[in-house]
């Protein structure tokens, strides 16, 4: 069995998650559809919005492209890969259109289904074109030369990392603040139940204050911001060095990650708060943190992939601990969520979940990478 793992499959699941999230947004007001309203045949609406028509095609086009490439990389023939991709896109779209009967603010439409299927077909056609030009095979050869065989999920992590920065984190590059969100979800799930007293404190306002707020608001605040920025930059660097083989490629990847960190954060800030505020996040502590992260990347260039994975585990754990020192402001989060100018780039808040969950997924992958190497070494010794 080949140890090669394509990054197309995990990216396909990300594309599915994006489509499901966008189709069923705002994820509220669920109800069982009336039998007189529900139909297995999708209705045709009397009006169509041009922006929705374009969005339906563009929303499924990347999905069709990535899924078809994934099938091609798995050894399927071009025609079989294209056919399976289009059928999968059509079934996914049909299922989501039926589910829209349960959401009052969403309306199923056969036009949407046709356009979604068309977008999937165009994506599959683009994948076949790329394959016919030899670009897929070229990338496969380059990947075998540049990366380890198990690099698929690691490369997918690197692709997804900038998406989490599109929703401004509490501190620059500070992804992973999960516990406050979990507590809010538990509070909503236990509302008006005996368990609510265990989740909601006597003074609800105190739940937004971190138990380390005295540290975060003291003279240590600039230090915490610098260290968080450093760890936030080093985490993807460790992932990159854990999968890359040549030293020159590591240098290129680390340079790209620094550029992505600055560019994605500036773009997010500009779109959320206005172009004049694009670089207001670049305070002195953040600059120090970026420089420390860049110097840390220089140290990683000549380290072994196992060492980079071990350091990655420590860095991610450090990042998770630091970001939970940052206080969560519910009014800031609510305002940012509803800010019309930033909704497109933040994908109605989905990018926030990318930023929250990325460190934990990276941590699981790094630990799995180390565990896999230990298992392989034990098997070879036997």
141/193 same-domain check:
no
Q: Is residue 152 part of a domain?
A: no
- pLDDT at position 86, please? 95
Determine contact, residues 106/100, Cβ cutoff 8 Å: yes
135/164 same-domain check:
no
State how many domains the chain has: 2
84 or 140: which leads in pLDDT = 84
- pLDDT at position 374, please? 47
199/136 same-domain check:
no
CB neighbourhood size of 283 (10 A): 15
115/188 same-domain check:
no
Per-residue pLDDT tens over the stretch 149-173: 777 788 888 988 988 888 888 889 9
19/109 same-domain check:
yes
Furthest C-alpha separation in the chain: 70
187/319 same-domain check:
yes
Q: Is residue 3 part of a domain?
A: no
139/263 same-domain check:
no
261/369 same-domain check:
yes
98/177 same-domain check:
no
Which of 108, 126, 146 is the C-terminal boundary of a domain?
146
Which of 113, 146, 179 is the C-terminal boundary of a domain?
146
Q: What is the mean pLDDT of the chain?
A: 80
Q: What average pLDDT does the segment 60-78 reach?
A: 89
Q: Which domain holds residue 233?
A: 158-381
- pLDDT at position 363, please? 94
Q: What average pLDDT does the segment 41-45 reach?
A: 76
139/176 same-domain check:
no
295/371 same-domain check:
yes
Q: Is residue 1 part of a domain?
A: no
Q: Is residue 241 part of a domain?
A: yes
Q: Is residue 153 part of a domain?
A: no
Per-residue pLDDT tens over the stretch 235-281: 999 999 999 988 899 999 999 999 999 999 998 888 777 788 888 88
């Amino acid at each position: 069995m080949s140890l090669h793992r394509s990054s197309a499959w995990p990216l396909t699941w990300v594309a599915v998650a994006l489509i499901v999230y966008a189709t069923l947004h705002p994820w509220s007001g669920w109800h069982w559809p009336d039998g007189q309203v529900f139909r297995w045949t999708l209705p045709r609406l009397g009006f169509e919005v041009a922006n929705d028509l374009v969005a339906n095609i563009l929303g499924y086009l990347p999905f069709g492209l990535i899924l078809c490439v994934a099938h091609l990389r798995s050894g399927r023939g071009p025609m079989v890969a294209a056919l399976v991709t289009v059928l999968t896109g059509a079934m996914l779209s049909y299922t989501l259109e039926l589910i829209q009967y349960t959401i009052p603010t969403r309306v199923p439409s056969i036009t949407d289904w046709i356009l979604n299927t068309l977008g999937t077909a165009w994506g599959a056609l683009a994948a076949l074109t790329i394959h016919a030009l030899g670009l897929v095979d070229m990338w496969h050869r380059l990947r075998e030369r540049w990366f380890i065989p198990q690099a698929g999920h690691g490369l997918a992590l690197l692709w997804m990392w900038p998406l989490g920065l599109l929703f401004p984190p509490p501190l620059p590059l500070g992804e992973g603040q999960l516990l406050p969100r979990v507590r809010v979800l538990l509070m909503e799930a236990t509302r008006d139940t005996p368990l609510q007293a265990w989740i909601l404190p006597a003074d609800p306002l105190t739940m937004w204050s971190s138990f380390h707020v005295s540290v975060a608001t003291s003279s240590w605040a600039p230090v915490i911001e610098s260290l968080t920025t450093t760890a936030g930059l080093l985490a993807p660097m460790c992932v990159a060095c854990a999968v890359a083989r040549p030293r020159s490629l590591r240098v290129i990847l680390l340079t790209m990650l620094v550029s992505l960190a600055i560019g994605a954060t500036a773009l997010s800030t500009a779109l959320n708060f206005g172009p004049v505020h694009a670089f207001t996040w670049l305070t002195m502590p953040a600059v120090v943190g970026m420089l420390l992260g860049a110097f840390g990347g220089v140290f990683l260039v000549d380290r072994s992939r196992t060492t980079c994975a071990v350091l990655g585990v420590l860095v991610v754990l450090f990042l998770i601990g630091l970001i939970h020192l940052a206080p969560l402001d519910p009014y800031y989060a609510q305002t940012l969520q509803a800010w019309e100018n930033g909704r497109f780039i933040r994908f109605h808040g989905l990018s926030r979940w990318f930023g929250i969950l990325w460190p934990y997924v990276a941590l699981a992958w790094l630990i799995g990478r180390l565990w896999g190497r230990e298992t392989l070494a034990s098997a070879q010794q036997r």
